[in-house]
Amino acid sequence: MQWQAFSGLRVPGSMADMTATPQHHAPLRIGLIVGSLSHRSINRRLARALHRMAPSGVTLADIRIDALPMYNPDHDAAFPASARRFKAELEAADGLIIVTPEYNRSIPAVLKNAIDVGSRPWGESSWFGKPVALLGAGLNGAGTAVAQAHLRACLGYCGAQVLGAPETCVHWTDAPVDEDGVAGPELATTLAAFLAATVRHVAKAQSPDDSHLSKV
Ligand SMILES: Cc1cc2nc3c(=O)[nH]c(=O)nc-3n(C[C@H](O)[C@H](O)[C@H](O)COP(=O)(O)O)c2cc1C
């Protein structure tokens, strides 16, 4: 993973309040995880739109989960190198965005595996205290609401700080993001509000007031 600054799109004045982001001195580093392996994934396309819309002062970097081994407690004593790398990427991020499809009214197995890998070895969870925001696109009207609820439960158990609102579930109709990752106007408004809330959430977690927290 490489942290790269992405040029932010200017937000129209009428959106200023909804998309206002806090002032920081250091860029916020937000890792982006996509819960789909498909190269035609609509959720990956949605993630591409986020990259294009990242506000200034925020860097987004993809964190891949496709090459992770299936979690096996037998390997805790000698955690696999790719799993260690994944955990290091989680830990290096100030916050995370997870963009996921819904599979059979839950989250895809590849994403659940990534959560399990990140949560171990015991006592070394990489999720604990991490601010996380959830996003997803689906082909039906619920737009991944159930998957996000399951994800919230898993991550909450792992001690992550999951953003509560706005819940952002995208009903994917009429290709709202083109192949270059440009979102149509309606979705762009939704994503701008999601990004602003995410940045506020991640910035808040930077507060030294949280320094008394310890890992479980
Ligand atoms: C195994 C499987 C289970 C699915 N289950 C659901 C579901 O529970 N709810 C839903 O809205 N869509 C479901 N879908 C449809 C997905 O929303 C759709 O395939 C979507 O394109 C997947 O996201 P992706 O393109 O980012 O991979 C399912 C698709 C697959 C392959």
The best mutation among 38, 43, 103 to test binding of ligand 1, ranked by most ligand atoms within 8 Å of the C-beta, falls on 103
Tell me, in angstroms, the distance from the centre of ligand 1 to residue 101's CA: 6
Query: Which pLDDT score is estimated for 143?
Result: 81
Report which ligand 1 atom has the smallest distance to the Cα of 38: 27
Could you tell me if residue 13 is inside a domain? no
**What per-residue confidence (pLDDT) applies to 198?**
98
* Rounded Cα gap, residues 203 and 24, in angstroms: 8
* Element at 187 (helix H, strand E): helix 185-205
- Answer yes or no: is 21 within a domain: no
Question: Is the CB of residue 104 below 6 angstroms from any atom belonging to ligand 1?
Answer: yes
Residue 98, C-beta contacts closer than 8 angstroms, at least 6 positions apart: 33, 34, 35, 111, 132, 133, 134, 135, 151
Ligand 1, atom 20: closest residue by C-alpha: 138
The overall pTM is greater than 0.85: yes
- The domain of 62 spans 27-207
Quick check: CB of 41 below 6 Å from ligand 1? yes
> Which residues neighbour 153 within 8 Å (Cβ) at sequence distance 6 or greater?
none
Domain count along the chain:
1
- 101 Cα nearest atom in ligand 1: 23
Q: What is the residue with the minimal CA distance to atom 29 of ligand 1?
A: 103
Instruction: Answer yes or no: is the C-beta of 42 below 6 A from any ligand 1 atom.
Output: yes
Give the distance (Å) from ligand 1 centre to CA of residue 42: 10
pLDDT along the chain (216 residues), means of 10: 33 36 71 97 97 96 97 95 97 98 97 98 96 96 93 98 95 91 95 97 81 48
pLDDT in the model for residue 140: 87
Total H helices, total E strands in the chain: 6, 7
With a CB cutoff of 8 Å and minimum separation 6, the contacts of 7 are: 56
Domain-located, residue 95: yes
State residue 74's pLDDT score. Answer: 95
Q: Classify residue 18: in a domain, yes or no.
A: no
Instruction: Please state the atom number of ligand 1 nearest to the C-alpha of residue 37.
Output: 27
CA of 103 to the centre of ligand 1 (A): 5
CATH no. for residue 167? 3.40.50.360
Q: Is 57 helix (H, G, I), strand (E, B) or coil?
A: coil
Residue 4 lies in a domain: no
105 lines ligand 1 (CB under 6 A): yes
In a domain, 16, yes or no: no
Give a yes or no: residue 17 inside a domain.
no
**Looking at ligand 1, which atom is closest to the CA of residue 44?**
26
Q: Does 175 sit in the ligand 1 pocket, CB within 6 Å? A: no
For ligand 1, whether the C-beta of 14 sits within 6 Å is no
Q: Is residue 10 part of a domain?
A: no
